[in-house]
């Protein structure tokens, strides 16, 4: 049965807070539980020279964002302890594995900035694994079973009922050796026989009920060709490969925790007592909302043409994210921010998007592009005149320099940046009002020219020639509320712009057993338009990243040529999806006594908070959920009332943190917009009480 988890939502305001608490020097960081395991082992006899880790992907698909966590954990430990890390390909299924995937995985790991010590393949150990299997048969610990897979599955029993022995469990050693040798020689068709470990058909852990070790597959292997026609199962191969490579810590995601008992049992059969005995430990894998992680389902997207390939910028693959414009630093910082946990949760994809915004904000060159153009004519600007204006490459980096932007009488601006008639709250261009053109002059809307249908073809305006940005004149210092981006029509470079968005419009596209995940495809996940960019971009190279001012972050796509620029939208400047989440319904009909309702909610939260820190975990989780429900009815002033809670009242502070987050989410508010909120949360994150820290960093 598929397990489900409550989403761990992370809006941009919370992300800012979370990053502030996590991005600290190593000296102030506590160890995560895997680092603590390593430290304990070092304290109990391991030497640093014995430490060795591995990242063991199966080469049956492209790596995705979920693998980034596993990569970051293993290679991160290698970096922390200056220990080697193997890149090992668990290539035991020739039906699905290809050299293409091996090459892609190497490229992805290297692109992320990690360096492996050795490239290894489980197929390198096929002979050793076979020899060990023969010894197990001789010791009476493995046998050849000739039943169908359906019958064997039925005999295994259920989690509450023991299995029963099959008719071939007590075959003689001689017969088992003969059959196994003939399986290897290719005498039998697929499915005729399997080799099983002989353990315990009544073990409470069903994985211990005589698991498969080998099956027959008459398929060429991407490395060994047709040398073998029997292939080892993952559970048999995994631990033995770790042992051969002398991996000190075999780190796996939580779904392999039930496999640990079998991992250890298989090691018992080959361990000599002289070498380092590896140990398996598990961590929670990375789950993202609005995202599919299953390789099988990702392959379906590719095969059915929903996406253009494994590196389609909408795919969660590392190659797709790279093509979309994500940086190695953003992905590594994302993994660091998520952290290492023992329990499964679902991370909001907005946290990933926040990290790329943060990174590109510091590194991307600012340029101007117009994606939905309307012509703007500056009627009092001399015809034929042009100027070269200076634009900062990146105001976040004082060393980034400047570049020139040509200015002329006729420009393109965004169609949405003009309204013929607008209210006082509209700060873009309208008739009779002034705005500033970025890096240029202040202009004033004067009139419009329309086509036969009434659509605006041209906007006519006048400019103040003394108001050029940076000129130092009094006119240039005039304060106008709106600033627009633009491009000069005669200098503009036409470009194809691919506006990518999330591939799915449902938070859990594969979380509906009664529905196909394809039903939740976002029809707006890709729009291809023609835009106009400033000539500074004419020579942009594939992979170059830019901020199109006021629009978002974009990079040059692989399809771009000298004759045709192609840009991909990496991410918008803001989280547009946050606005789409439903807000609490307003009262319809008779008004409720809101003040009384709020007072009741506040008193309830205060009552629940008093004992919150002392409750057992299960009750604490339920109480937090109850507080979240009531907090939506609080006013902002009531939420702010928690900010002055005495330090010793841990439960009330916890309730205050929960209420703050729930209130902000319910009312689509940013934490930074609530006076005192950031300081309140920061104090909780720095508190010695672990429960308070945990609630504050949710």
- Any catalytic annotation for residue 58? yes
Strand positions, DSSP E, 158-259: 194-197, 212-216, 230-232, 249-253
Q: Locate all alpha helices (DSSP H) within 339-485, ordered by sequence.
A: 349-363
Whether 297 is catalytic? no
Can you name the residues that pair with 504 across neighbouring β-strands? 521
CA gap 181, 441 in Å, rounded: 85
Residue 652 near residue 610 (C-beta atoms within 8 A): yes
Contacts of 88 (CB under 8 A, 6+ apart): 54, 55, 56, 119, 120, 121, 122, 241, 245
Q: What are phi and psi of 554, to 5 degrees?
A: -135, 155
Of 110, 40, 45, 115, nearest to 76 (Cα)? 115
Locus of tokens 């925790």: 257
| Torsion sign (Cα): 608, 613, 614, 620 | positive
Q: 3-class SS at 645?
A: coil
**How many other CB atoms sit within 10 Å of the CB of residue 417?**
22
Q: Which whole-number Å values give the CA distances from 504 to 9, 273, 308, 515, in the listed order?
A: 17, 52, 16, 14
**Which listed residue (35, 58, 458, 628) is catalytic?**
58
Closest CA to 601 of 647, 557, 554, 666: 666
Residues 6 or more apart whose Cβ sits within 8 Å of residue 401: 393
**Pairwise CA distance, residues 191 & 194, whole Å:** 7
Per annotation, catalytic residue among 156, 171, 260, 295: 295
Measured CA to CA, the distance from residue 592 to residue 589 in angstroms comes to 9
Q: Which two tokens stand for residue 440?
A: 């240029």
Non-local (6+) Cβ contacts of 101 within 8 A are 59, 60, 61, 62
Tokens coding 326: 């994500």
Pairing of strands 456-463, 373-378: parallel
**Nearest by Cα to 112 from 80, 53, 67:** 67
Is 285 tagged catalytic? Answer: yes
User: In 10 A of CB 150, how many CB atoms?
Assistant: 8
Q: Are 106 and 87 in contact (CB under 8 A)?
A: yes
- Give the Cα separation of 527 and 523 in Å (integer): 9
Q: Active site residue: 261, 281, 285, 698, which one?
A: 285
> Catalytic positions, please?
58, 285, 295
């Amino acid at each position: 049965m598929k397990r489900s988890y409550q989403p761990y939502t992370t809006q941009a305001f919370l992300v800012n807070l979370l990053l502030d608490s996590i991005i600290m020097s190593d000296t102030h960081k506590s160890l995560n539980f895997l680092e603590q395991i390593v430290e304990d082992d070092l304290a109990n006899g391991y030497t640093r020279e014995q430490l060795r880790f591995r990242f063991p992907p199966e080469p049956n698909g492209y790596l995705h964002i979920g693998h980034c966590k596993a990569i970051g954990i293993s290679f991160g430990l290698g970096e922390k302890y200056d220990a080697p890390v193997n890149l090992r390909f668990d290539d035991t299924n020739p039906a699905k594995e290809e050299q293409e995937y091996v090459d892609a995985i190497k490229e992805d790991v290297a692109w992320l900035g990690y360096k492996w010590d050795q490239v290894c393949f489980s197929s390198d150990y096929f002979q050793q694994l076979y020899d060990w299997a023969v010894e197990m048969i001789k010791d009476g610990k493995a046998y050849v079973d000739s039943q169908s897979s359906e019958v064997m599955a039925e005999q295994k029993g259920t989690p509450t009922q023991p299995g029963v022995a099959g008719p071939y469990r007590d075959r003689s050693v001689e017969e088992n050796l003969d059959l196994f040798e003939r399986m290897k020689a290719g005498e039998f068709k697929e499915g005729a026989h399997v080799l099983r470990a002989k353990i315990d058909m009544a073990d409470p852990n069903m994985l211990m009920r005589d698991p498969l070790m080998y099956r027959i597959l008459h398929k060429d292997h991407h490395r060994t060709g047709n040398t073998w026609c029997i292939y080892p199962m993952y559970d048999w191969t995994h631990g033995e490969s770790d042992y051969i490579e002398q991996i000190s810590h075999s780190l796996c995601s939580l779904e392999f925790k039930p496999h640990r008992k079998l991992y250890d049992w298989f090691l018992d059969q080959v361990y000599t007592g002289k070498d380092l005995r590896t140990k398996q430990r598990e961590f929670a894998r990375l789950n993202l909302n609005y995202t599919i992680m299953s390789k099988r389902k990702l392959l379906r997207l590719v095969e059915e043409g929903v996406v253009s390939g494994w590196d389609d910028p909408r795919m969660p693959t590392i190659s797709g994210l790279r093509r979309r414009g994500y940086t190695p630093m953003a992905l590594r910082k994302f993994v660091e921010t998520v952290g290492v946990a023992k329990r499964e949760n679902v991370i909001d994809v907005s946290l990933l998007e926040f990290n790329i915004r943060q990174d590109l904000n510091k590194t991307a060159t600012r340029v101007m592009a117009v994606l939905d153009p309307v012509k703007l004519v500056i009627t009092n600007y001399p015809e034929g005149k042009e100027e070269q204006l200076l634009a900062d490459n990146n105001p976040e980096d004082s060393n980034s320099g400047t570049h020139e932007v040509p200015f002329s009488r006729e420009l393109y601006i965004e169609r949405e940046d003009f309204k013929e008639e607008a209210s006082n709250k509209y700060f873009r261009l309208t008739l009779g009002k002034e705005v500033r053109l970025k890096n240029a002059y202040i202009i004033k809307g004067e009139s419009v020219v329309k086509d036969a249908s009434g659509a605006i073809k041209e906007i006519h305006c006048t400019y103040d020639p003394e108001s050029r940005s940076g000129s130092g004149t009094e006119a240039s210092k005039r304060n106008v509320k709106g600033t627009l981006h633009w491009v000069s029509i005669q200098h503009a470079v036409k470009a194809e712009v691919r506006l990518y968005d999330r591939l799915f419009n449902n938070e859990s596209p594969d979380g509906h057993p009664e529905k196909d995940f394809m039903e939740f495809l976002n029809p707006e996940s890709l729009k291809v338009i023609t835009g106009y960019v400033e000539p500074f971009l004419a020579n942009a190279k594939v992979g170059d990243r830019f901020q199109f001012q006021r629009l978002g972050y974009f990079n040059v796509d692989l399809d771009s040529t000298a004759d045709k620029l192609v840009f991909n939208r990496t991410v918008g400047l803001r989280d547009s999806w946050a606005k789409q989440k439903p807000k609490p319904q307003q009262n319809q009909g008779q008004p409720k006594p809101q003040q009384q309702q709020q007072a009741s909610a506040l008193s309830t939260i205060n009552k629940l908070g008093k004992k919150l820190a002392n409750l057992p975990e299960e009750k604490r989780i339920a109480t937090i959920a109850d507080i979240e429900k009531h907090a939506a009815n609080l006013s902002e002033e009531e939420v702010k009332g928690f900010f002055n809670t005495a330090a010793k009242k841990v439960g009330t502070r916890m309730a205050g943190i929960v209420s703050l987050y729930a209130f902000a989410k319910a009312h689509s508010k940013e934490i930074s917009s609530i006076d005192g909120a950031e300081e309140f949360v920061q104090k909780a994150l720095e508190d010695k009480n672990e429960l308070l820290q945990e609630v504050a960093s949710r």
